[in-house]
Amino acid sequence: MKLLNTIKGLWLLFFSTKIFHPENVFKGKRVAVIGAADSAFEKENGAYIDSFDLIVRVNKAPHSWSAEKAKFIGNRTDVLFHSFYENLESGGGPIDLELYAKQGINYIVNPNFNSKGLWTHLNYYKRNLNDNLTYILSRSFSEKNTKNFDKWIPTVGFSALNTILNSKCKEVYITGFTFFKTPYAADYRNQLTDMEANKEHIRDQGLHNPDLELKEFLRNLDEIKAKDTHVILDPMLLQIIKNQKN
């Protein structure tokens, strides 16, 4: 049975996975990127977020969304960056295609075009044996996202941010990203809303380096600001950047 599922999974990976080319999707567009941090709920920006051409979210966002939260974070999701790990503890949560269809998600994107990312994608098809269309980020963008990380693996949130900032958007609005300096928003990872528990979880995993991600984000942000993309940051992220530079 395992061998048969592997063969089926390989077939599905080959025929049901497409390459996601960000420059074809985001270029010239106004794009809002909504992360999982509590800072996304400091102000009722839902209508403002919904005014963007494309709205990008990460991992468990479709599962933690509710109508009550829409006034803060908007209604739509157009592009979902997902780890394709479906466990609750360290992954992106279940990939629920029926839920995604109801929310109008057009692209489910695995940001890791490398051996580990392809293996994760294959395992998704082996588990689910469905022929639904999924995407994997183009190799060139995936390599940009991991370029300066050495042994560390960028979080899905960082990969989403970095991809969009390098996609020649007209405008980018960023909220809900604090590089683990504030808690997760409610209902996203309730077991890790305690900051010390979350720090311990990151240390135990040994996969991600939030401080390096912030450093790389700032370096990239300075480069983008010198180009034609207008970048708008929420107040908490602006404060984090101010603290980092002082």
Q: pTM to 2 decimals?
A: 0.94
Q: Exposed, middle or buried: residue 16 (CB in 10 Å: 0-12, 13-18, 19+)?
A: middle
State whether residue 67 is helix, strand or coil.
helix
Mean pLDDT (the chain, rounded): 91
Give strand pairing partners of 57.
80
Determine the Cα–Cα distance for residues 23 and 43; give it in Å rounded to an integer.
30
Which helix (H) or strand (E) is 107 found in, with range?
Answer: strand 107-110
pLDDT in tens, 116-140: 999 999 999 999 999 999 999 999 9
| Dihedral-angle region of residue 127 (phi above 0 means left; psi in -120 to 50 means alpha; beta otherwise) | alpha
pLDDT in tens, 193-234: 666 766 776 776 767 889 999 999 998 888 877 677 899 999
Task: Note the CATH number of domain 2-245.
Answer: 3.90.1480.20
Q: Which residues contact 246 (CB under 8 A, 6 or more apart)?
A: none
Q: Show me where the domains of the chain are located.
A: 2-245
